[in-house]
Structure 1
Amino acid sequence: MSPTRNRRADARRSRAAILDAATQVLNVEPDAGMETIACAAGVTRPTVYAHFPSRERLLLAVVERITHEVVVAMDAADLDAGPAVDALMRMLDAGAQVTGRYPVLVQLISAHTVPPEADHDRHAPVADRIRRVIQRGRQSGEFDDRLPVDWLVAATISLGHVASEEADAGRVPAKAAQDALRLSLLRILGAT
């Protein structure tokens, strides 16, 4: 292997170790600094900054990683099989299962304001899957077609966030929040 390839492989391993550490550390200690994350990753602080010039950039990379986990879980739920209503419920379960592993981190991400375009981009992979299920449900007659699909996608994402926030704040038990989310979505979609 050439020295350049070795450096690239080392850089990929360092980046992965930093993201692993940041995900674990920030989920326990959301105010942790770059030094704490570097120690947990087994790298130096300058190495962290070489990959992520700011805490903000590191947090965005963690968000991308969690979003990727959610998307993988949703895809594993086989969203094209069975009735669209069932696929929607499997999709909600898959998303909740992943985000449930990172309760503190999800709260940190939710509290972190980003421009509307960045928020839209952050949700795009999940939104694509929601859109696909909604359109399939409309074609099969399971969901009505009175409301715009993009509005329904945005409402689904927003209601998912509300369910998480209410459960995390202790205002609604987690199971009740998930049940309310399901019922609300079925009503908004005009499920038969």
Structure 2
Amino acid sequence: MPEAVVPRGRKRRLDAERSRAAVLDAAIAVLGRQADASVEDIAAAAGVVRQTVYAHFPSRGALLAAVVEHLTAETTATLDTLDLDTMSEVDALRRWLEVSWSMVERYPVLLSPVMATAGPGADDVARHRSVTARLEALIRRGRMSGAFDTRLPEAWTVAAVVALGHAAGQEAGAGRMSPRDAGAAYRDSVLRLVRAPA
């Protein structure tokens, strides 16, 4: 059977999509090993030239933001496979924390100090919205059932959970805790924070 002919414009788009994906994958891998890796290092790992990286991402900051967006989308997709609504509030939150932290263990780039330059700010909040929306729903559900503490504002509780995750990541990234220990400390701290008083 003869091969289908791909129109030239479509072939270029497919090639561009492949090279963009290769650059993102390379950035995730290279920056996870070497935080100060150059754009040239990332390009070499992707099998492209530096100009190709800049064709897709106009700056190093744009590349880092794309890495965060890519990993956030993967985290969201993973969280969506869980059936959290069938679990108790505490078990559902514990599972959310485990899955979220497993992404940090899977992608060491998330522990890299270079990721701190990917934002904070309004864009950083927007990029994480799909993940934090699921957390907000869990916190709200637990507060309504009485399983979680209602003395503190819901938004503050969500922000504190996120901040604890960043603190755990910083400790692991700096080598002061192993990723495993930092993840356990993160889960334990969050559960202590949110549980309703006895």
Give the counterpart of 2:134 among 112, 125, 129: 129
2:157 paired with 1:152: yes
- Amino acid paired to 2:15: D
CA shift, 1:109, in A, is 4.3
Percent identity, aligned pairs only, is: 50
Give the counterpart of 1:177 among 172, 182, 191: 182
2:62 paired with 1:62: no
CA shift, 1:32, in A, is 1.5
- Amino acid paired to 2:23: I
Cα distance in 2, alignment partners of residues 148 and 73 from structure 1: 28
TM-score (norm 2): 0.86
- Amino acid paired to 2:113: L
What aligned pairs does 1:88-107 form with structure 2 within 5 A after superposition? 88-107=93-112
Instruction: Provide structure 1 residue ranges, at least 5 long, that are not aligned to the other structure.
Output: none
Cα distance in 1, alignment partners of residues 178 and 25 from structure 2: 29
- Amino acid paired to 2:66: A
TM-score (norm 1): 0.89
Specify whether residues 32 and 82 from structure 1 end up closer, same or farther in structure 2 by C-alpha distance, changes over 3 A only: same
CA shift, 1:57, in A, is 0.8
Q: Deviations over 1:134-189 (max 9, x none)?
A: 11112222113222211111110001111222233343454443343233322322
The answer to which structure, 1 or 2, has the higher relative contact order (CA under 8 A, 6+ apart) is: 2
Q: Provide the alpha-carbon RMSD of the alignment.
A: 2.0
Higher alpha-carbon deviation: 102-111 or 12-21:
102-111
Cα distance in 2, alignment partners of residues 180 and 105 from structure 1: 17
Higher alpha-carbon deviation: 54-63 or 107-116:
107-116
2:190 paired with 1:190: no
Q: Deviations over 1:88-137 (max 9, x none)?
A: 11111101111112224432344326352122123212210100111111
Count of aligned pairs: 192
What aligned pairs does 1:103-118 form with structure 2 within 5 A after superposition? 103-112=108-117, 114-118=119-123
CA shift, 1:68, in A, is 1.6
2:61 touches 2:117 (CA, 8 Å); kept in 1?
no
- Amino acid paired to 2:56: H
Cα distance in 1, alignment partners of residues 157 and 166 from structure 2: 14
Give the counterpart of 2:53 among 35, 41, 48: 48
Higher alpha-carbon deviation: 177-186 or 20-29:
177-186
- Amino acid paired to 1:80: D
2:68 touches 2:118 (CA, 8 Å); kept in 1?
no
Q: Secondary structure at the match of 1:80?
A: helix
Instruction: Provide structure 2 residue ranges, at least 5 long, that are not aligned to the other structure.
Output: 1-5
Higher alpha-carbon deviation: 23-32 or 65-74:
65-74
